[in-house]
Amino acid sequence: MFCSSCGKTIEEGSTFCKECGTPAPGHAQSPRPAPGYVPPPPPPSSPGYVSATPPPPPPPGYGPGWQAPPPRRRTGLIVGIIVAAVVVLAGAGVGAYFGLRGGDSDKTAASSTTVSSGSTSTSTLDVSTTVTIPDISSSTTESNVSTTTEASTTSTTAEITTTTASSGEAYLRAVDKMVALLEQDDLRIPVLATKINNTAPSVPTSVDNELETMLGSLDGAFTALSEQSPPDGFGVADGYLQDAANAMGNRIDATINGVQAMRSAHKVSAGNTYFDLGRQARDDYKGAYKQFQDSYPVE
């Protein structure tokens, strides 16, 4: 069939022409509603129901692309409500505070304090009071500080003096012990040397044991002396005393090695090298000890 308006072919079953939109023959156009016509309301919605009546056109002045304006923000109203609430709460707190304080709150709120050098003036609406603060003499404070400083200095000086005296006494005790051991060993070694000569090469082990005991005692005295700082004026003598102690230690050690060498080799000549070292150490000891005595500042 053909369109009665444009003459184009209308497919079988179509109700209008696809070219111009004219209704196909046999399909009359629905009559338009009269002006002022209001369509009846749609039936209640139900699942799957689609209204056949299109929605009414938008009001005049709302053309295509129109969008509803965004809702107004009520920020100003909200801020005003919050501020009013804060003011009410603050007023209630201040009222409670002054209610608890009673009559004194008025005087406290209205009072003012002025502080000047040496005095404080306090005034209220109906009370005027002047309170004088006595000046504190700085000389008293300075005197107390001076007294405290002098006492502290005196105490510190006394402590230093006591410590120095105590340290000096400890050093002198160490010196006395070392001197006693050196003089004792110097007298005892010749006696042991005679016994060695009489029993060589099979010297009794008792001689070795006594010499080792002497050497151990000397080492202990030397350590005790080294731990003490010599007082002023004792430095030179202290050096000579330590030299004498070292020489005595070498003398005893050489004698022990000589005795053990003879006993092991069963020959007297096996110990000669050690005994020569012992005699050299003896001479070194006597020279250092004499210098110690000459330089020692205490009679």
Give pLDDT tens digits for 202-248: 999 999 999 999 999 999 999 999 999 999 999 999 999 999 999 99
The CA distances from residue 232 to 158, 162, 163, 173, in Å, are: 18, 15, 14, 16
> Could you give the CA distance from residue 233 to residue 210 in angstroms, rounded to a whole number?
36
Structural tokens at position 95: 């009222």
CA distances (Å), origin 43, targets 30, 39, 53, 108: 21, 12, 11, 78
DSSP-derived 3-state class of residue 165: helix
CATH code of the domain occupying 161-295? 1.20.120.230
Would you state the pLDDT for residue 84?
A: 60
User: Within 13 Å, how many C-alpha atoms sit on residue 26's CB side?
Assistant: 7
Nearest CA to 185 among 105, 261, 286? 286
pLDDT at 2: 75
d(CA 282, CA 39): 145
- Structure confidence at residue 221 (pLDDT): 97
Give whole-number Cα distances, 45 to 50, 56, 98, 283, in Å. 8, 18, 67, 135
Pairwise CA distance, residues 268 & 109, whole Å: 115
pLDDT of residue 161: 45
Q: Where are the domains of the chain?
A: 1-26, 102-133, 161-295
Q: What angle do CA 210, 216, 220 make, to 5 degrees?
A: 145
Mean pLDDT (10-residue bins), the chain, 299 residues: 77 77 66 52 50 52 49 52 60 49 44 39 40 45 50 49 69 97 98 96 96 97 96 96 98 98 96 97 98 89
**What is the pLDDT, as a whole number, of residue 285?**
98
Place of tokens 């006492």: 151
Give the phi and the psi of residue 115 in degrees, each rounded to 5. Answer: -110, 125
In this structure, are residues 122 and 129 in contact, taking their beta carbons and an 8 Å threshold?
Answer: yes
Coil, strand, or helix at residue 132? strand
Contact (CB, 8 A) for 176 and 182: no
Question: Which residues, 6+ apart, have CB-to-CB distance to 260 below 8 Å?
Answer: 208
Q: Structure pTM?
A: 0.48
- List, for residues 60-100, the tens digit of each pLDDT value: 444 455 454 455 555 554 556 665 665 556 555 545 444 44
Q: In what order do the strands lie in the sheet with 119-123?
A: 112-116, 119-123, 128-132
